[in-house]
Structure formats: C-alpha cells, structure tokens
Structure 1
Amino acid sequence: MNAPLLEVQQVSRSFGDVRALDGVSLTIAENEFFALLGPSGCGKTTLLRSIAGFEHPDGGAVLLGGSDLLALPPNKRPVNLMFQSYALFPHLSVAANIGYGLKREKLPKAEIAQRVDEVLETVGLTAMAKRRPAQLSGGQRQRVALARAIVKRPRLLLLDEPLSALDRKVRAEMQLELKRLQHEVGITFVVVTHDQEEAMSMADRIAVLAGGRVQQVATPLELYRNPANLFVADFIGTSNLLPGPSAGQHLVVRPEDVRLVAPGAGRLDGTVADTQFQGGTSTVAVDVPGQAKPFLVTEHGATEAVRGTPVGLAWQHEVAVGEGLA
C-alpha cells in the first residue's frame, strides 16, 4: 500500500440515542480508490460528511497527510465532496459549471480557462462545453459534476452514491470511467455506496460497515474469499449458508463453487425449485430439506436442470470461503 493520506482514528458520532459511528478507524493510501460499503444506516455517509466537514465527530481524530483535518472549516479543507444530486447550475454552460469554484477563488481567467479545457478533455466533454445541463444525458451530467470536483485539484475526492441516479447500462459504463479517471488524475477517491457490485468493480480496497462499526477492510477479492464474519460473507456476493462445526457458527459456500450431481453423489440432496438464465450464466435454486433458503448454484451458459428434478449438490471442502463464521 502507498503512504497513508487519510487516517481516521476512533471516530464516533451520535444523534440522540442513535450511535451512527462507533469508534471507526481507517487508513486510506495516497492515490487509492477506496469504498465505504454497507446497508442504509450503517454510518458510511456520516463518516463521509465528517471527513468533508459537514458533521463534527463527538470524539476521535481525522488526519490528512498527518495534519488535523477536523480543526479546519469545510471550505479550508483540501477535500471536495461530489453530491448525489450533482447540483449543477441550470443557467450556466458546462464550462461555466466546471470553472465556477475556480472563479470564486478569484484565479486568473487564463488559468481557469486552461484548467477547464484540460478537465473537459479528460472527461470527454470538450464538444459539450457550451451546452446547458438540461441538454445533457444523465451520464454526461455526472461527468460535469466530476469535472467540477477534480478541476480544483483536491488531495481527496469524496463521492456520495455518485452513480445512483443513472440507469443500469450507464452505471456500468461510468464505473469503468470513474476508475479510469481516478488513475489519470492521480487523486485519492473515497466513494460511499450501498451497492456491493459497484464497490467490488471500482475500489482498490473496501471498508464494510454495519451498525456504525467497521466489519472488515480488504481488497474485493479478500472480502469475497476470506470474509471476517457472517455479516460480510452474507453482504458481499451471493452466499449459501450452512451450519458450521459448532453451535452458532456457519459454513459459507459460493454458488459458483457448487456442482449439480446425481442424488446421493454429493454433500446434500435437494429438488430443483427454479432456474434463471442470465446470458453467460444460469442460476439454479435447489430446495434442500432443513434449509430455510434455496441453495444457489451458478452454471456457465444455459443449465440442463429441470424444475422438480431431484439433484445432489457437490463442492470441494477447500472452496468453502468461511468456516466457523459467526
């Protein structure tokens, strides 16, 4: 990991009786694409707003490059927050929207024009410079908001659910675009999302939060293959949960690690309840006696499984991603 840029140390924040952040500690590296991931109410947005300066923690410290960030007002922090709504000015052109913050800082007009032109090229909107936001698609408006944030050259860019307003196809395109831009501009990105697929596809590392606490910080692959607890195992990807070696413990098996075999030839037997074809793969749901939820199996291409057919479920013991998780 590169040198630490942001250090969050035992940060707590309460709203009345609700403990939004409960002793959160994180270290984020220079030039890292970092995701804060978790369900609604887990504390990820409160943490983001605390870093930006719109919330003040009850306790703990936040350091940027070793300096106390909490001592600075929001407008003095070398941090930029890109809002979920994009908040573009409808009466201004794309170029004027992007240069607005630089103009308020009273930078020379020639420098503003140069920096706006550079960032327009980076986000692929040079041809749209004179258009108004209403003349743009959702994906293009998202690019304008991003350009406005990075043109100020913050050391840290915070993104709050940046792709939530986009449709599925555009979201997938913008996930790739955000990753490309982050590498190109060399700014540390911290993105808040509740969408684990989004976090897994973009982030170098992910912090999974629940109940105001950090459950695990790891790379996407580590989270998927070595979850720290049952919450992470169930939240990241799709899981089949089985009773573990001791009471209250579980074994986690991923659907792609399971094979359909003849009844009696696997570890479990069941009956095919449903099949879904999703293009490159199929998902087979198998009802297993004693299991509250169907056991899921992922097969490449179209499946030959037929609803109502008895089947066996087989997997190698070593592919179980978590044993004894609680």
Structure 2
Amino acid sequence: MLKITGVSRRFGDVTALSDVSLEIRQGEFFALLGPSGCGKTTLLRILAGFESPDEGTVTLDGDDLLGRAAHRRPVNLMFQSYALFPHMTVAKNVAYGLEREKLGRAEIRRRVDEVLEKVGLAAMAGRKPQQLSGGQRQRVALARAIVKRPRLLLLDEPLSALDKKVRAEMQLELKRLQNEVGITFVVVTHDQEEAMSLADRIAVFNAGGVEQVDAPVELYEHPRTPFVAGFVGANNIFEGRACSVGLAAEELGILPGNSGLPDGTSALLAVRPERIRLDDQGKGVLSGEVVDVSFYGGISHVSVQVSGRRQPVLVATQGATQVQTGSEVALGWAEGDGVLIPQ
C-alpha cells in the first residue's frame, strides 16, 4: 500500500535519513523503532507532509504522495502531545476535522458518536480535556485521528506520556482499535516492549538508516546486525571467529551457536539471557562467579563474571533462584540458542 523508495533528508551537515526504502502493507500495524535522533520522526513528518525529502519517492496505492499538500493526503498524524483544543468538549474536538470538511450535521454527529463508542468515551462527550485523565485524553486524540477515516494513521510516541499501567491498557486498546477500524497504523517509538507488543512488523532504525525489517519474534530471535542484537532486548554478545559449531572466542574457547558463516569470518555470537542455563560445575560451556542476583517478580537476573570476559554474563531464570552471590556456577546453552552475526 505504502512504498518508500530511496528517501534521504539532510539538515545542514546532519543526515537525518539516508536512502531509506520500506514497503508497508494494507491494514498493517507497522512500527519504526530506534533510539532518539535516528530519523524515525523525520520519516513520519515526510509521510504527513510537514517535511520534504531531498531524494526519493513515496507512493500510496501507486500514486505519488509527495506531490500532494499535507491537508490533501489521506493521512492523519497523532501528535505526541495529543494537541487537543482545551476550550472544546470531547465531542467538539473529535468533530473538528469533519466540520472543516463541511460535512452535514447529522453525518458529523453519527460519526462522532460511533467513534467515541469505539474508544469507550461516549459518556464523556460533554467534558473538556482538562477534566480527563492522561489515558482518556489519549483516546480523544485517537478518536479525532480515526474519525476522518484516513488510509494511513501515523502515531508519534503515542503512549510516552502515560504511566506504566495505563500504557499497558492503551497498548491493548490500540491493537483492538486498529483491528476494528482496519486503518493502516505506522507508529514511531523508542520503546522496544511497545513495538513488540503492538506491531505486525518492525523496522529498526539506526543513524538515519534501516538496520532490519521483520516480525517481532523473528527480530528478537534472529538479529541480523550487531546494532539490532544490542538494541532489541537484552543480549550477551561474544566476539570471535565463526567455526563449524559456533564461535571460536579468544580466551573463552568454542562457544555453541548456529553458524551459517564461512569458517574464520570475524563474527559476534548473541545469546539471550533466558536461553542460558545454570549448570553444575564442570558441565557447562563457561564457568564463573555470581556477582549479582536481582529478583523482578517472576524472573531472576543472575550476573556471572567469567574469566577472560570484561562484562558479566546475564542469565534470566523463572521465579526466585537459589543461587547466591559469590558462588561458582557453570553456564550452558544449546547450539540453536546462539545466533552468529557477521561483524
């Protein structure tokens, strides 16, 4: 549905986007994930019509999108700050865009009532934004964005202003709403959990470029670049050279991993903390001393200092662990749980 080809944008000496190409499908929930300043919001602003790229094309259903003025695009952008009109009621805020289009009163009322019902705010139609909670204001902004029935809804850090509990509720709400209204959503976020829980596919951005585009599980299980391995979730990264059974790491020996790389290739081995098991001494791949144990309600994080490695190895175990700080442990993992990445 949306095809972005070779888009670049520079601000003086700063390159915000460098030759970005993406394809987004009809009805998809697509996330742009990356650290601050990586170019994801610039791309969103180009799609909305607030920025123009220096190079590249963007088409929507095969038609040139960049040639249309912002207010002529079938695209809506929901701002991070929600940007609600404080002097208007909830219903008036939602109706504003439809009134600008000069739709009939009956049609406006029907569509406003329908969308407020969808976001669970029908009973609050007469309230002003300052009389609402953060989560409720966010729903008003969403209702105002979808009432115009855009082909594409752009959301810039939509949940960043909410506390953790409300954020979790709104993640479910966003996903439900997107399934119900059938609009293609593109969300910008630096929150990995948010991207993982919401998106059908995720594009990971770094320094103005796209590192990897994949479904959340594939992205987590099979990172293709060192940046993705380090940015998406916690990972234990080992340096060395690829060999037939994994990675040959200086001072650590042979570490098991899924190798598809030619022997001798400079590579990284990424192993997720939850894939590492604590073994009895002498049985594991590595051994070391426990330097820290933290309990996170359901999961324990165990940090193990291994000789020959600067950073401790992080292990995640279900429930409370019996392992004590200062004890010697062995660490092991299956060959399929280690992912080799060319360096």
- TM-score greater than 0.5 by the shorter chain: yes
3-state SS of the aligned residue for 2:172? helix
Query: Is structure 2 residue 113 aligned with structure 1 residue 95?
Result: no
TM-score scaled by length of structure 1 = 0.97
1:1-326 equivalent positions in 2, closer than 5 A: 5-245=1-241, 246=264, 248-320=266-338, 322-326=339-343
TM-score scaled by length of structure 2 = 0.92
CA distance in 2, matches of 1:12, 1:200: 27
CA distance in 2, matches of 1:291, 1:283: 18
Structure 1 position 100, deviation (Å):
0.7
3-state SS of the aligned residue for 1:244? strand
3-state SS of the aligned residue for 1:179? helix
**Contact preservation (8 Å) 1:138, 1:165:** yes
- % identity of equivalent residues: 64
- AA at the equivalent of 1:310: E
CA distance in 1, matches of 2:333, 2:266: 22
CA distance in 1, matches of 2:310, 2:55: 42
3-state SS of the aligned residue for 1:124? coil
CA distance in 1, matches of 2:194, 2:49: 25
Structure 1 position 47, deviation (Å):
0.5
Structure 1 position 248, deviation (Å):
4.4
CA distance in 1, matches of 2:68, 2:341: 45
CA distance in 2, matches of 1:30, 1:7: 11
3-state SS of the aligned residue for 2:84? coil
- AA at the equivalent of 1:278: Y
Q: Pick which of 285-294 and 62-71 moved more.
A: 285-294
Please tell me the root mean square deviation across aligned C-alpha atoms, in Å: 1.0
3-state SS of the aligned residue for 2:233? coil
- AA at the equivalent of 1:325: P
Q: Which runs of 4+ in 1 moved over 4 A?
A: none
**Contact preservation (8 Å) 1:53, 1:70:** yes
Match of 2:250? none
3-state SS of the aligned residue for 1:89? coil
- AA at the equivalent of 1:187: I
Q: How many residues align?
A: 321
Structure 1 position 309, deviation (Å):
0.7
Structure 1 position 244, deviation (Å):
3.2
CA distance in 2, matches of 1:242, 1:11: 34
**Contact preservation (8 Å) 1:244, 1:324:** no
Structure 1 position 247, deviation (Å):
6.7
1:190-239 superposed Cα distances (whole Å, 9 cap, x missing partner): 00001111100100000001011110100001101111111111111110
**Contact preservation (8 Å) 2:265, 2:342:** no
Structure 1 position 241, deviation (Å):
0.5
Q: Which runs of 5+ in 1 are unaligned?
A: none
Q: Pick which of 260-269 and 190-199 moved more.
A: 260-269
